[in-house]
Amino acid sequence: MLPGRAANVIFKVVRPMNIRIQACVFLFFIVRAMLLAQCPPLGPIVGPAQLCGNFPMIYSIPNSADADLVWTITVDPFPNSVQFFGPFTGETVQLQWWGPAGWANVIQLCATATNPCYDPTPICFDIIQPPHFEPYDPDGGQLHQIVCEEDEVIYEWQGPVGQTYSWISYAHGMAIGAPQQGNGTLSFIAQNPTDMPLFGGGQVTAWMGNCRGTGPAWSVTVNPKPSMNQPPNVTVCGGAPVSVTFSGSPNATFTWTNDNPAIGLPASGTGNINYVSPKVPQQQVGNITVTPQYSGGGVSCPGEPVTFSITLDGTVVDDPSDITVCPGAPVSVAFAGNGDSYFWTNSNPAIGLGVSGTGDINFSAEGSALQQTATITVTPQPCPFASQSFNITVLPAAFVNQPADVVVCGGKLVTVALTGSTGTTFNWTNSNPAIGLAASGSGPFIVFTAANVQSDQTATVTVTPVKGGCVGEPVTFQIIVERCCTTSAGDLDTSAIAVCGPKTVQIIHLGNENLEPNDTIRFILYSNLADPMGSIVQYSDTLQFPFLQGVMHFDSVYYAAAIAGPQMANDSIDASSGCFSLMKGPELLWRSIPTITVGSPPDSVCRDGCADVLFTFTGTPPFGFTWLIEQGGQVLIERTETATGYSLTLTVCPSDFDVPATGGAMNFRVNFLMDMFCGCGD
């Protein structure tokens, strides 16, 4: 047993010689290997399959005292919900549940032997979480309800099969009507003797046999049942204002219904009642039922409704309609209602009616050059406040002057002015809309563009003068639209064109022109979009427009158009002809070529020195350019730069490139330039 003796020497004797220590270490590893081979395997973990929340649970591996076990817990997703009740080493451990039940999905207990002679592979054991509640959703996902006084409150607990439930009520829970304690479903009638919301609750616990879970709290907010004071009954004459103010318990609101909308009140509403009653021909009674409401936490609780009545009495007269007549017309007004008699007054006797009277009204209207309006106020007897007013308007006569007949070519603008008596409206009708004019219209002018007709068209226009409500004698005249021509310059491609530098631009004509005999088609370049013919820059017969130095300007927008019409003696096109046609085309833009100017660098620079070189540009930023320095045909340095503005200063140092020892002049030049749109080679 030499190895055993050597091992004893190692653990009991300390020797100062290095060679002896190395030999001991070697023998130690030999002994360790032997011990690993000699230790028995460990058995499984023994303990309850489910944790409880009311006492610690014991777990162990029998016959593992020499294994020097270290225990670990894995809880997903809340690692701190289970903890060791005491040390986490040894043959036996105790676990205590600390977290909320139902949160942990996986609980795994593992034991790992730290004695080198045992297999270090962990031995694990899955544990079921304590009794718990599964998702419960009585009111928005919370164990809290908001109810009204006298509502039934029910909590039906939910969890894994086999669980039972016990619950208790706190003092404030019993104050809202809950029993002190119980098992299974919690059910009670909510109570609230106050005028404000009352909060109460308790605790519920899940059990699996004697295994207790950690349960959540339950709570209920009980809204009060509101009350209101009895409003008095209201009796008024029809036409009088009605005002009823409701009062009751604090924070109460009021909704009401009305069984008779004939009293002038809608069938339902909220809040106090304030309105002006209608004038009714006979008594009307409405029964109003008011319900107080208390709202809290999104729950509205009604109280006991109360009922009162609104009665409309009194004599009334129907509201006569306003009357508008022409001079000399008969006027007749018969009053209706339940009055004993009717008294009326007239604000303007110029209409032909006296200033006051009794009974119905009958007279012949008197007019003048100006419109006359009278306000008639009729009052039923004996209720004077139920008066009604209406107007009688007598209009002046109207006339229109005779317009002249009109003959026009198709495509031309037609304007006819209508004149007559002051303040007259002129209504007209057209017998033939094919001329380009609508079938009817109104106003002091008839303005339209004559249609390009295929054959001559004649229309009879009838104009009727109307002043106020009086219609005068109508007049008629004719509008004749003749077929003059069908000239069309055709269409151009309207896609915008932009080029760099003074190039010739080609536009595209679709070839769909239509020319009458003696017509000519041309193409123009102009500068004012609102005045093409007055701003012509070029004519073209070939659809090509060159850039004209001294006439045109770079970066200015020009426009192309096709024109067609009769050719004049000077070879131009008659733009005043009824057959003239202008079809607008694309925008054209000649962009200027960018330029670069290099400021004069010093004639000489020391090999160790530097020189600033200023570049200035014309064009549209940003600019890109390449510059180089060469000597005797050899490029010493070449760089590409970008400038965001119109100038850029660069510092050039001979130390940045190799300068031949032969010396000689070095040339600085730019061999590439471009701006946002164009390059120097365009």
Identify whether residues 641 and 653 lie together within a single domain.
yes
Residues for the chain: how many in total? 682
**Could you give the CA distance from residue 545 to residue 510 in angstroms, rounded to a whole number?**
17
Binned at pLDDT 50, 70 and 90, residue 22 comes out as: very low
In a domain, 47, yes or no: no
Identify whether residues 415 and 477 lie together within a single domain.
yes
Q: Which of 204, 223, 242 is the last residue of a domain?
A: 223
Given a cut of 60, whether residue 571 has pLDDT beyond it is yes
In a domain, 373, yes or no: yes
pLDDT greater at residue 183 or residue 279: 183
Given a cut of 70, whether residue 106 has pLDDT beyond it is yes
Identify whether residues 567 and 506 lie together within a single domain.
yes
User: 198 vs 81, 191, 594, CA distance in Å?
Assistant: 34, 9, 82
Amino acid occupying residue 557: V
Q: Which residue has the tokens 């008024």?
A: 236
Identify whether residues 201 and 240 lie together within a single domain.
no
Given a cut of 70, whether residue 31 has pLDDT beyond it is no
Classify 518 in phi/psi space as left (phi over 0), alpha (psi -120 to 50) or beta.
left
**Could you give the CA distance from residue 274 to residue 35 in angstroms, rounded to a whole number?**
101
Given a cut of 80, whether residue 218 has pLDDT beyond it is yes
Q: How many helices (H) and strands (E) does the chain have?
A: 3, 50
In a domain, 45, yes or no: no
Q: Which one, of 62, 60, 81, 79, lies nearest residue 71 by Cα?
A: 60
In a domain, 51, yes or no: no
253 neighbors 293 (Cβ within 8 angstroms) = yes
What integer pLDDT is reported at residue 6 of this predicted model? Answer: 24
In a domain, 137, yes or no: no
What's the total number of domains in the chain?
8
List the beta strands (DSSP E) in 317-422. Answer: 323-325, 330-333, 341-346, 356-358, 361-364, 372-381, 388-394, 406-409, 413-417
Given a cut of 80, whether residue 178 has pLDDT beyond it is yes
**Could you give the CA distance from residue 550 to residue 538 in angstroms, rounded to a whole number?**
13
pLDDT greater at residue 520 or residue 395: 520
Given a cut of 70, whether residue 660 has pLDDT beyond it is no
Share of the chain above pLDDT 90, in %: 55
Lowest mean pLDDT: which of 76-90, 154-168, 288-302, 455-469?
76-90
Q: Which of 563, 591, 619 is the last residue of a domain?
A: 591
Tokens of 576: 């005043």
Q: Which residues contact 14 (CB under 8 A, 6 or more apart)?
A: none
Given a cut of 70, whether residue 445 has pLDDT beyond it is yes
Q: Which one, of 511, 520, 517, lies nearest residue 490 by Cα?
A: 511
In a domain, 217, yes or no: yes
What integer pLDDT is reported at residue 399 of this predicted model? Answer: 84
Residue 410 is part of a domain; what is its CATH number? 2.60.40.10
Helix %, strand %, coil % for the chain, to 5?
10, 45, 45
User: 605 vs 601, 608, 611, 636, 655, CA distance in Å?
Assistant: 9, 8, 7, 15, 11
Given a cut of 50, whether residue 11 has pLDDT beyond it is no
In a domain, 219, yes or no: yes
pLDDT greater at residue 602 or residue 213: 213
**Could you give the CA distance from residue 92 to residue 64 in angstroms, rounded to a whole number?**
9
User: 491 vs 98, 525, 559, 563, 581, CA distance in Å?
Assistant: 86, 15, 14, 10, 11
Identify whether residues 541 and 576 lie together within a single domain.
yes
What integer pLDDT is reported at residue 444 of this predicted model? Answer: 95
Q: Would you call 346 exposed, middle or buried from its count of C-beta atoms within 10 A (0-12, 13-18, 19+)?
A: buried
Domain that holds residue 203: 144-223
The top-scoring range by mean pLDDT among 21-35, 340-354, 373-387, 589-603 is 340-354
Strands 306-313 and 284-296: antiparallel
Q: Which of 223, 250, 271 is the last residue of a domain?
A: 223
User: What pTM did the predictor assign?
Assistant: 0.42
List the beta strands (DSSP E) in 114-216. Answer: 123-127, 144-148, 152-155, 164-169, 181-183, 186-189, 198-208, 211-212
In a domain, 616, yes or no: yes
Amino acid occupying residue 47: G
Identify whether residues 211 and 245 lie together within a single domain.
no
Residue 211 is part of a domain; what is its CATH number? 2.60.40
Identify whether residues 602 and 587 lie together within a single domain.
no
Q: Which residue has the tokens 């209920």?
A: 220
Q: Which one, of 662, 656, 666, lies nearest residue 630 by Cα?
A: 666
C-alpha distance across the termini of the chain, in Å: 102
Q: Which helix (H) or strand (E) holds 175?
A: helix 171-175
Binned at pLDDT 50, 70 and 90, residue 270 comes out as: very high
Q: State pLDDT tens for residues 128-148.
A: 888 887 765 444 445 789 999
Give the dihedral of Cα atoms 98, 104, 106, 111; nearest 10 deg.
Answer: -20
Share of the chain above pLDDT 70, in %: 89
The top-scoring range by mean pLDDT among 364-373, 392-401, 499-508 is 499-508
Average pLDDT (193-215) is 90
Compute the radius of gyration of the chain from its Cα atoms. 53
How far is residue 4 CA from its own chain's centroid? 87
Mean residue pLDDT across the chain: 85
